[in-house]
Amino acid sequence: MPGPARAVLICALLLLGLTVTNAGVAETVTPELQRAEVVAGMASVGLMLVAVLWTRANPRSAEKVPLKGDQGLVMTDQFNAVQKQELAWGSHMLLTATPAASVLVLWRDQIVLRRGLISQELFEPGAITKRAMEREQTISLVNTTLFPGRAEFDAILPSLPAVVVCPMGNEGAVIVGGWSPRCFTRSDERWLEGWTQRLRTTLADDALSPVPPDSI
């Protein structure tokens, strides 16, 4: 319970206690006293309600889940410096500016980046990732324990509590795993969608692709 809400609750209990005490020590019960007791009691209950609503309006954030993985960065060598810089910059921002614990980028059936907490398991896109790519719509699993298909993402990190899959058309997807259930806000998802669109343009630009040695 937040500090201000706790203070309001204490005041309510104190007022209620004084009201009961005053009624108990009164020698005679008059209509005026009864009205005063009713008003004081209603005020006490009102303050208690304020404290409860205050607590609900400021809920405690979910604690981080202890995830198993090693901090690391694995990036493919198939891109040039500009494309690598875009991958590095965007993934760094996701890990520092959002509750992301792990970032994986899938591009044309290849894992081109893993960053944050990573595992050595081979990730294969399953039904959820494929559906996001086919529909070109972001899929957010706010609490993976409620979704039967959550095992699809165990290769990224076992038991990720929250996952967001943001597609790059049918060519790939950015998959972000969070530290706790319901940790990603709508603003986080919009930021991810914006960067994913930019990343798709950068990776798909053939003019930026390195020239194979055999063609020189």
pLDDT digits (tens, 9 = 90+) for 10-24: 887 877 787 778 777
Whether 201 and 103 share a structural domain: yes
Do 74 and 51 lie in one domain? The reply is no
pLDDT at 44 over 50: yes
pLDDT at 200 over 90: yes
Mean pLDDT across the stretch 110-114? 95
pLDDT band at 63 (very low <50, low <70, confident <90, very high): confident
Instruction: State the average pLDDT for the chain.
Output: 85
We report the CATH number of the domain holding residue 134 as: 3.30.450.40
Q: What is the pLDDT of residue 213?
A: 40
Count of other CB atoms within 10 angstroms of residue 213: 6
The whole-number average pLDDT for the span 24-38 is: 75
**Cα angle for residues 150, 146, 129 (degrees, 5° grid):** 35
53 inside domain: yes
What confidence score (pLDDT) does residue 212 get?
A: 45
Q: Give the count of domains, the chain.
A: 2
Is the domain of 137 the same as that of 183? yes
**Percent of the chain residues past pLDDT 70, beyond the cut:** 89
Considering the domain architecture, whether residues 81 and 174 belong to the same structural domain is answered as yes
E strands, 110-204, in order = 110-118, 139-141, 162-167, 172-178
Domain annotation covers residue 65: no
Does the structure show a pLDDT above 60 at 61? no
Residue 203 lies in a domain: yes
Residues facing 175 on adjacent strands: 104, 165
Asked if residue 216 belongs to a domain, the reply is no
167 is a domain residue: yes
In a domain, 62, yes or no: no
152-193 pLDDT tens trace: 999 999 989 999 999 999 999 999 999 999 999 999 999 999
Q: What is the pLDDT of residue 150?
A: 86
Count of CA atoms in the C-beta half-sphere (13 A) of 111: 18
- Quote the crossing angle between the two packed helices 31-57 and 3-25, to the nearest 10°: 160
Residue 35 lies in a domain: yes
Domain for residue 214, yes or no?
A: no
Structural domain of residue 192, as residue ranges? 70-208
Pair (118, 50) in one structural domain: no
**How open is the CA angle 51-55-56, to the nearest 5 degrees?**
120
